[in-house]
Amino acid sequence: MKLNPDCIRDALFNIESVVAPNRPYQFPKDAQELLKKYSSEEAFYHLEQCAYGGFLINFKRYAGPSCTIKDISPQGHKFLANIREDTVWNKTKAIAEKVGSKSLDVLIQISTGVITQIAKNKLGLP
């Protein structure tokens, strides 16, 4: 399956809205908003990709497209913080499209660069 950056972002937002101390994320139970936009197969695949990319803590897979997730990792929170704003996310995706890669590593690097440039512009730095 092809990696869909929007599904990655939406999955992280969905997890963030559910997890709390002693409250893990359960797929598909907690994924109703995510499943309105993506098939169960696509959503679950992208949750796995988030786990493989180090964005999730204690990803446990069960029979069928089912899993629990304890929390988002510090790396996942950092990425989510960088891409939270739609303007940053849209710039990140546009640059990834021009570069020709939408891997997680590339999306992380681009989003960090976009945020850094925005901060420099706000501070009047070159």
Please state the domain extents for the chain: 5-72, 78-123
CA 72, 77, 79, 82 torsion-angle sign: positive
Selection from 8, 11, 24 nearest residue 71 by Cα? 24
Give pLDDT, residue 49. 97
Instruction: From first to last of the 126 residues of the chain, give the pLDDT tens digit.
Output: 999 999 999 999 999 999 999 999 999 999 999 999 999 999 999 999 999 999 999 999 999 899 999 999 999 999 999 999 999 999 999 999 999 999 999 999 999 999 999 999 989 887
Our CA dihedral for 116, 20, 58, 55, rounded to 10 degrees, sits at -10
Dist. CA 15–CA 56, nearest whole Å: 9
